[in-house]
Amino acid sequence: MGRQSPATEIARLRGELAEHNRRYYLLDAPVVSDADYDRLLRRLEELEAEHPDLVTADSPTQRPGAPALEAFGRSTHLLPMLSLANAFDGEELEEFLQRTEKGLGAPPKAWVVEPKLDGVAVNLLYEDGELVRAATRGDGTSGEDITANARTIRSIPLKLPGSATKTPTRCEIRGEIIIGKQDFFALNASREEEGLPVFANPRNSAAGSLRQLDSAITAARPLDFFAHGLGACEPAVFKTHSAFLKEVGRWGFKVAPLVGAVKTAEDVHRAYQAMAEARDGLDLDIDGMVVKVDGFDERERLGQVSRSPRWAVAYKFKPRQAETVINKIVASVGRLGTITPVAELEPVRVGGVTVSNASLHNMDEIKRKDLRVGDTVVIERAGDVIPYVVASIAEKRKGRPPKFKMPTSCPSCGANVVRLEGEVAYRCSGRSCPAQLKETVRHFASKTAMDIDGLGEKLVAVLVDNGLVHNFADLYRLDAETLIGVERMGAKSAANLVAAIDASRTRPLSRLIGALGIRHVGETVARSLARRFRSLAALAEAEAEELTAMDGIGPELAASIRAFFADRGNRTLLADLAAAGVAPSADSVASTGGAVDGKTFVLTGTLSIPRNRAKDLIAAAGGTVSSSISKKTDYLVAGEAAGSKLKKAAELAVEVIDEAALMALLQTSGA
């Protein structure tokens, strides 16, 4: 293949970076390391600098983050939240220091050095000392409104206790929401015990916890907040960043350790070495050091470029890497039939941990990196947790080892392996694949699904391998006499398991919906579906329009739900479950008997209470809040400055009420 033109390479890089941004910011599921992402971004910056006529407003170099998720409301920042430029070595750091000094005409009065926390950047807006809004960085201008979830984090003060002269009437306090390393390991251990997928790293676990539609889930996660920046501030009561950090500490905010003000460039370099050495002893996950000009007046003079301030830089730590050899590449079958290539490695120590396996994610990644059995590869622990294959060292390759090919038949059941158009994943097409069956049964029995105590991974494997369980319904046909003959099962444990299975027959409908393993349907969506449709029969007949009218359900998720219930095999399974006595109970929140019970609401315009609070009140009274109007909508609640939804409501003859009428309905429902 010939050399790409600058325009072609720029288009390719923008596409790759946009996808990586989507996975990192929106899905919290990155597939490249920070170092790989930074290399792609650096190359794009170089090309755009050489060809300024090819720079466009939607380039990743011009945007600090990613758009807000539709599932949350959008919140606009009073001042933009910019991303920091990166320095990858001492020479680049020195260039930044000299460039800053040149821009000011003299060295700044002081620098502030801070550990670069690897978490989720958020913006907290306080008015008259009270927290009124919290939002993620988003695209830098606006982000996801996560106020309800932020209020559950104990290290975020709901009210500032400062004196009248020190507390501004309105200010944005910026910082990072993180999960400490020890809390992260404990959280993953708990999820593993419950049969839930583990989080990739502390940053992903924090992001996933923060983006829960159910604030109760967020509240149960060990989230922490560290303040590190100031946005808009009225009046401007702070003259320096160091004074701001000192004061917010008095207000009750946490400030990261190792923060300090230094005078000279030499002090900055020494601080970096000290921080790198102290890194392992911290419970916080840090991936570098941030250097900032201390004085706000000097920052104002320096200004900013398109996506970054000129007065700060992030000096990244060197990645924790090691070399090892790929001994084997195996295909692993997951719960939904996804076949993932996994590298079995010559064990190697990386950052204090022995790594012997690493996911290669998909065939596209293998081809892009040209990974083969026998290759010497560079391994990195992304976020100090995930083992990740960075690259193959071509000059160390011996001979011409064959390229890895995805098997055409499932390694577990022998069924055809297919790749659907538009997907990167290969999937097993078999309906009775043992590997899939084991994973689906384990998920069905997990604590967040049907909660069948005692039915863990090893016992599930034994039951499937012995032909005792071919689907979920078979679990309800097991008896103690049969189980006593199973490996590692005595009379007491068999009786306990039968009792636990029997108790699960009447779990709430949301549990059963979540247990079925419908693609993309997790706990929160399952609860919404249970509240909206009240029975599996009603959900099975739901039209795409009804589904997409619900908050948090888009076309892809609606299609997945419809495909599941349209499948003949799945309909047979549901009939088998019913025949086996599985009769889910109503979710307690879904049936109040009041005026709101079972009704669907759409909110528009500005209400006197936070929109998330209104949603919570409606849900508590048995109602459902949708993001768009359909013929199934019962009420449109119109606040101030209501928009185009009023016209749509008139067209569909949907009843329009104001906030006072909504509150009256809620009162009759006991909310």
Q: Between vectors from CA 386 to CA 382 and to CA 387, what angle results, nearest 5°?
A: 90
CA distances from 596 to 471, 499, 590, 625 (A): 38, 37, 10, 11
**Token pair 């991974």 in the structure block, residue:** 457
- Residues tagged active-site: 116
Report the SS3 class of residue 530.
helix
Give CA–CA dist 175/157, Å, rounded: 13
HSE of 21 in the Cβ direction (CA atoms, 13 Å)? 23
Q: Is 59 left (phi over 0), alpha (psi -120 to 50) or beta?
A: beta
Give CA–CA dist 440/438, Å, rounded: 6
Select from 191, 227, 13, 33 the least CA-distant residue to 112: 227
Give CA–CA dist 224/175, Å, rounded: 10
CA trace torsion 339, 340, 345, 348 (10° rounding): -150
Contacts of 248 (CB under 8 A, 6+ apart): 173, 227, 255
**Token pair 């927290």 in the structure block, residue:** 131
Report the SS3 class of residue 548.
helix
Report the SS3 class of residue 184.
helix
Q: Is 548 left (phi over 0), alpha (psi -120 to 50) or beta?
A: alpha
**Token pair 């170092």 in the structure block, residue:** 35
Burial string for 279-307 (b: 16+ CB within 10 Å, else e) reads: beebebbbbbbbbbbbbbebbeebeeeeb
- The answer to whether 598 and 532 have CB atoms below 8 angstroms apart is no
Q: Can you say whether the dihedral through the CA atoms of 111, 112, 114, 119 is positive or negative?
A: negative
In the beta sheet, which residues pair with residue 230? 173
